């Protein structure tokens, strides 16, 4: 029987800890990608529409990076909930 992503990969991710998950996958990956995407959109808006958005540029990481960390935290708790609810944590204790 094929295992789910949660059953296969979550134990390794879980072993690295919540802080690592929130900082790396949340803050750096999601927050960083959101920051880059917003900078790209601001750049396009400035050039195509002639808008002056230089005051918005410093606010982008102020909002995007914490949002990424928040996503990481929510995602961690959701995956932990599912992992326990589906009983995968009991399978690991038996080994």
Q: pLDDT (tens digit, 0 to 9) for every residue of the chain, 95 residues total?
A: 678 888 899 999 999 999 999 999 999 999 999 999 999 999 998 888 888 888 889 999 999 999 999 999 999 999 999 999 988 887 555 44
Quote the pLDDT of residue 64: 97
pLDDT value of position 91: 59
This prediction has a pTM of 0.82
1/24 Cα distance (integer angstroms): 32
Q: Beta strands of the chain (E only): which ranges?
A: none
pLDDT of residue 79: 95
Say how far apart CA 59 and CA 91 lie, in whole Å: 46
């Amino acid at each position: 029987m094929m295992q789910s992503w949660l059953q296969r990969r979550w134990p390794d991710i879980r072993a690295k800890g919540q802080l690592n998950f929130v900082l790396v996958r949340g803050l750096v990956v999601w927050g960083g990608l959101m920051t880059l995407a917003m900078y790209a959109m601001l750049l396009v808006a400035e050039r195509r529409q002639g808008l002056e958005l230089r005051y918005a540029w410093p606010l982008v990481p102020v909002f995007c990076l914490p949002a990424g960390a928040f996503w990481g935290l929510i995602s961690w708790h959701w995956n932990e909930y599912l992992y326990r609810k589906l009983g995968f944590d009991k399978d690991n204790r038996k080994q």
